[in-house]
Structure 1
Amino acid sequence: MTIRVLIADDQAMIRVGLRLMAETEPGVDVVGEAADGRAAVALARSLRPDVLLLDIAMPVMSGLEAARILLDEGGAPRIVMLTTFDTDENLHAALRLGVGGYLLKSSPPEQLVEAIRTAAAGDGLIDPAVTLRVIAAFAAASRLAPPPELSTLTAREREVLTGLARGRSNREIAASLFVGEATVRSHVAQVLRKLGLRDRVQAVVFAYETGLVRPGEGR
């Protein structure tokens, strides 16, 4: 199945570079380009791409505002935020919105392709260069008392959520729990549904922000 991608960045050279990197990958088709956030929203509505590569800092309307509008409407494409400016403020805002990925523009081409495929599959990817900062920041803000949402999860679902937060794949979680991958996928879907989360990225944020998992704990 072809993954349809929309690129939104105010710099033409960046858009050309992103297009070239994306279209060298089999099964990826760039269906349009936008130079500002407002145009990105309009094109996302009309072209219905599977994945939107969205720059955070753009004129007319920022990428964060464009993402907020599309995600609030429902049925939005999977959004991968791109940025040159590695700031915690932008990072936290993007992850709380529920975007499907967050990459620095300095990331290697293979990482961009991985983010596109991961987002299209319904999962999320955070640039490894900022992952530790994400964990530290959300862990520092964790609450002392377990949030009420956790009580809706079964013991097995909490184990799966813990595995997600520790960066384990479905296969690794399945092996540690002695169950099949299909069972893990079902548990992941239930966790996201019960907690009102969009994807695995939000699940990781939730786990650290609520103190379910803390930095330094065993994998």
Structure 2
Amino acid sequence: MCPISVALVDDHPLMLAGLTEILRKQPTFSVAATGSSADDILDIGLRLAPDVFIVDLMMPGNIFDVIAKLVEKIRTKILVFTAMTGSDYAVRALNAGASGYVLKGSSAQELLQAIATVHRGDMFITPAFACKVIEELKIASLKKMTGTEVKLSIREGQIIRMLLRGFTNRQIAADLQIGEKTVKNYMTILMQKLNARNRLEVLLAAQKLEGGTDPIQRH
């Protein structure tokens, strides 16, 4: 099995060196490239297409625009690794296309877990910070879902209920006896139907719908 290729972009040389050293000691990861600005993210992504990017937010350039551009152009996962603890920063990053948000100060093991999690298609947020982010996303989701009627197929309804029970894409695929790629396709459809930009917004919209505040029509 090929190691997960990771690109590291941070404008603090010591932090960049430390992250590089941690990853190089792990046989399941390889360091594809390093950079120090938002422009480096786009350049590295288009040249090397690493599996996962680890990026800081506070760097030269518009990091949010770059994240949005990159995920549109190539199949890569963006994991934000930052000291910014404002939930608004996390929401902006996730809405731009990031798959994870880890606070600096987290353990090396948590960071490695986050990389593996986003690589397999799931979302990761530092647990101690997740409640603030979820609340912020919930407010935005409720505003978007007001007065909306959503029609879900039987299969989509099954997936929604599994999401509410905390199932990952892999677990959903195994339980329904379908391919993991098929589950991802359903997630894309659900994001469109629920007007959601990411997995967390799908979950929040599903919680609201299942709670009975908006009608769900299944066919």
Which band: TM-score by shorter chain?
A: 0.7 to 0.9
d(CA) in 2 for partners of 1:77 and 1:84?
23
Q: Which residue of 2 aligns with 1:62?
A: 62
Counterpart in the other structure of 2:85: 86
**1: CA distance between counterparts of 2:114 and 2:165?**
19
Alignment partner of 1:168 is 2:163? no
Q: Which residue of 2 aligns with 1:206?
A: 202
- Relative distance call for 1:193 and 1:110 in structure 2 (3 A) is same
SS across alignment from 1:212: helix
Q: Which residue of 2 aligns with 1:217?
A: none
Tell me, yes or no, if the aligned pair for 1:138 and 1:205 is still in contact at 8 Å.
Answer: yes
- In the TM superposition, what is the alpha-carbon distance from 1:41 to its structure 2 partner? 1.1
C-alpha displacement at 1:187, in angstroms?
A: 6.0
AA partner of residue 187 (structure 2)? L
Q: For residues 155 and 115 of structure 1, do their structure 2 counterparts lie closer, same or farther at Cα, with a shift above 3 Å needed? A: same
Contact 1:37 1:66 in 2 (8 A): yes
Which residue of structure 2 lines up, in the alignment, with residue 71 of structure 1?
A: 71
Work out the number of aligned pairs and report it. Answer: 204
Query: How far apart in 2 are the matches of 1:166 and 1:71?
Result: 28
Q: Distance in 2 between matches of 1:8 and 1:116?
A: 14
Query: Partner residue of 1:112?
Result: 111
| Alignment CA distance shift 1:46-1:64 (3 Å) | same
RMSD: 2.7
Q: Deviations over 1:40-81 (max 9, x none)?
A: 21111112211111111101x133222122123x22421111
Query: So what's the TM-score if we normalise by structure 1?
Result: 0.80
Residue 167 of structure 1 deviates from its aligned partner by: 2.7
* Aligned with residue 191 of structure 1, among 180, 186, 192: 186
CA distance in 2, matches of 1:166, 1:87: 27
2:39 is aligned with 1:25: no
Contact 2:88/2:136 (<8 A) preserved:
no
Deviation at 1:154, TM superposition (A): 1.6
**Structure 1 regions of 5+ residues with no counterpart?**
215-219
Contact 1:160 1:184 in 2 (8 A): no
Structure 1: how far apart are the matches of 2:59 and 2:164?
A: 31
| Contact preservation (8 Å) 2:46, 2:74 | no
> 2-side partners of 1:204 and 1:20: how far apart?
32
**Counterpart for residue 51 of structure 1:** 52
Alignment of 1:84-163 (within 5 A): 84-141=83-140, 142-143=142-143, 145=146, 147-148=148-149, 150-151=150-151, 153-163=152-162
Cα distance in 2 for partners of 1:39, 1:192 equals 30
Offset at residue 99 of structure 1 (A):
1.4
**Contact residue 164 and residue 203 of structure 1 kept, 8 A:** no
| Percent identical | 25
Change (3 A) 1:212 1:18: farther
How many angstroms does 1:161 deviate by? 2.3
